[in-house]
């Protein structure tokens, strides 16, 4: 597979994954819905800020979904997840949040607007949407003033509001179901993690669920006092776990369902895709491409291998010269195959 074909395959595959997950939480599509992995709404939103630029319909449907269901997102966690990504996602998320405040009167998103304004990187005004040949999509009619204020040209947003209710019985929507049950706080996310793990300490759990450690530690100890979470001392560490069998039956969890750290997976895939889109000159021949893929893998591979995906890259380290490109491409294709 050529580098160009790989870039197209990567872009199409990620958009496929996003549609599967957004469809599972209420967007209309003809695609098969997510049924293998727990959906992480904050990570899904962050990655959609970039990849949604290649799919106008997806981008606007996500805004519609946020207008209806944004109350189920945790703003503190969203800000922590956003740190896995780079400035382009920050600018676009700030734009979307500002639109929700200005046009949909969702005051909750004020905090996101303020956060993104502080992190905003000043860039020349650009067209928001891009086609898959990497050509800017021209704006038809008047530009949306909210997006223009953030440096993006696009037609005025016209939300159709055709969003289905979230089906909390779908296994992949367990995290959203727990938030409806526990409230939109760290408690729901911590319990979701414990349902799929053999236990961990408060520091490791906080890093995996993207909440402040002090908050996680307090929640775990409160849960322990209730008797629903077991606290074990191993050396100097306290490990927290639960009785999986009773809770899996209670929440009717599909045993095939997997928990992965989507912020790591999505940020790695967006980093790879952006490198290929914004620096095409570095992939013009096989030698340059191998050199660049090797550099990308220094960040890409550790994120994937600590995400919970069952995939190994040890063979990549042994490769020399131009042989790196086809093997790295195959490695990424295996990742995408697991996710799709």
Percent of the chain topping pLDDT 70:
98
Tell me whether residue 214 is in a domain. no
Tell me whether residue 65 is in a domain. yes
40-50 mean pLDDT: 97
Q: What is the pLDDT of residues 199-222, one digit of tens each?
A: 899 999 999 999 999 999 999 999
Higher pLDDT among residues 314 and 147, named by residue: 147
Tokens 């050199």 belong to 291
Q: What is the pLDDT of residues 98-113, one digit of tens each?
A: 999 999 999 999 999 9
For residue 318, name the pLDDT band (cuts at 50, 70, 90): low
Could you give the count of Cα atoms lying within 13 Å of 233 in the half-sphere of its Cβ?
Answer: 2
- Report the C-alpha gap between 22 and 170 in whole angstroms: 13
- Report the C-alpha gap between 253 and 327 in whole angstroms: 36
3 state SS of 323: helix
Tell me whether residue 103 is in a domain. yes
Q: What is the pLDDT of residues 155-171, one digit of tens each?
A: 999 887 778 899 999 99
Tell me whether residue 70 is in a domain. yes
Tell me whether residue 110 is in a domain. yes
Q: What phi and psi, each to the nearest 5 degrees, are found at residue 164?
A: -75, 155
Tell me whether residue 323 is in a domain. no
- Mean of per-residue pLDDT scores for the chain: 91
Higher pLDDT among residues 161 and 329, named by residue: 329
Split into its structural domains, the chain has a count of 1
Q: Give yes or no for residue 73 having a pLDDT over 80.
A: yes
Domain range holding 53?
A: 27-153
pLDDT at 316: 73
Spatial CB neighbours of 272, under 8 Å, sequence gap ≥ 6: 10, 296, 300, 332
Tell me whether residue 180 is in a domain. no
- Residue 311 token pair: 């995939």
- Residue 162 token pair: 């055709």
**DSSP track, 227-274:** TSSEEEEETTEEEEE--HHHHHHHTT--TT-B---HHHHHHHHHHHHH
Q: What is the pLDDT of residues 258-298, one digit of tens each?
A: 999 999 999 999 999 999 998 888 888 888 899 999 999 99
pLDDT at 226: 87
Tell me whether residue 245 is in a domain. no
pLDDT at 123: 79
């Amino acid at each position: 597979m050529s580098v160009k074909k790989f870039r197209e395959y990567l872009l199409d595959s990620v958009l496929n994954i996003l549609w599967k997950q957004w469809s599972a939480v209420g967007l209309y599509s003809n695609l098969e819905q997510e049924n293998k992995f727990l959906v992480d709404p904050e990570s899904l939103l962050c990655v959609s800020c970039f990849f949604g630029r290649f799919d106008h319909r997806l981008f606007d449907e996500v805004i519609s979904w946020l207008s209806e269901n944004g109350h189920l997102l945790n703003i503190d966690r969203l800000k922590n997840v956003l740190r896995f990504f780079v400035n382009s996602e920050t600018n676009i998320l700030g734009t979307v949040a500002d639109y929700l405040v200005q046009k949909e009167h969702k005051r909750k998103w004020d905090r996101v607007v303020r956060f993104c304004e502080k992190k905003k990187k000043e860039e020349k005004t650009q067209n928001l949407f891009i086609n898959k040949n990497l050509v800017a999509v021209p704006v038809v009619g008047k530009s949306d003033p909210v997006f223009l204020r953030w440096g993006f040209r696009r037609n005025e947003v016209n939300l159709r509001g055709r969003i289905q209710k979230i089906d909390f019985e779908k296994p992949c929507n367990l995290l959203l179901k727990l938030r409806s049950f526990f409230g939109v706080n760290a408690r729901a996310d911590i319990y979701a993690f414990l349902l799929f793990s053999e236990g961990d300490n408060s520091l490791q759990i906080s890093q995996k669920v993207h909440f402040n450690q002090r908050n996680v530690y307090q929640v775990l100890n409160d849960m322990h006092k209730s008797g629903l979470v077991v606290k074990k001392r191993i050396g100097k560490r306290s490990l927290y776990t639960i009785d999986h069998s009773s809770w899996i039956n209670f929440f009717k969890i599909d045993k095939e369902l997997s928990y992965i750290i989507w912020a790591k997976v999505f940020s790695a895939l967006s980093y790879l895709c952006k490198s290929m889109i914004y620096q095409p000159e570095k992939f013009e021949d096989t030698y340059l491409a191998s050199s660049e893929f090797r550099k990308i893998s220094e960040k890409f591979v550790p994120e994937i291998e600590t995400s919970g995906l069952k995939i190994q890259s040890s063979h990549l380290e042994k490769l020399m010269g131009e042989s790196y490109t086809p093997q790295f491409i195959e490695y990424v294709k295996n990742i995408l195959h697991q996710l799709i």
